[in-house]
């Protein structure tokens, strides 16, 4: 839902953030790590666009560390790219 709202020309950043945060909470409650990663990447992108790069890095680094043995998936590559664009890095090697 957050991705859909963010593609609208009249999007409300607070509403988008709330959607991504809810998705992140649900994924965590269900222990669905890849859904958690997708939600976190979306939220991190939003924060990066708002100038909150450190916050975005803090969100993604632990997830990338915990999912490091799942390297090579598009979701992980996407997360790594967002992390690097925020000034962080988590090498999978």
Number of folded domains in the chain?
Answer: 1
DSSP 8-class letter at 89:
-
pLDDT of residue 92: 43
Q: 40-46, long-range: CB within 8 Å, 24+ apart, which pairs?
A: 40/79, 41/75, 41/78, 41/79, 41/82, 42/2, 42/3, 43/2, 43/17, 44/79, 44/82, 44/83, 44/86, 45/82, 46/2, 46/6, 46/13, 46/16, 46/17, 46/20
Q: Does residue 92 lie in a domain region?
A: no
Structural domain includes residue 90 = no
* Residue 7 within any structural domain of the chain: yes
Residue 65 DSSP SS3: helix
**Domain assignment present for 91:** no
Would residue 93 count as lying in a domain?
Answer: no
Range of the domain at 52: 2-85
Chunked in runs of 10, what are the mean pLDDT values of the chain (93 residues)? 58 86 96 94 94 94 83 86 83 44
């Amino acid at each position: 839902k957050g991705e859909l709202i963010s593609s609208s020309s009249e999007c409300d950043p607070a509403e988008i953030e709330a959607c991504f945060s809810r998705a992140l909470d649900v994924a965590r409650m269900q222990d669905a790590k890849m859904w958690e990663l997708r939600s976190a990447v979306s939220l991190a992108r939003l924060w990066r666009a708002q100038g909150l790069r450190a916050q975005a890095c803090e969100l993604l680094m632990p997830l990338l560390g915990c999912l490091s043995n799942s390297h090579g998936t598009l979701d992980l590559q996407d997360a790594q790219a967002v992390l690097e664009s925020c000034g962080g890095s988590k090498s999978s090697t």
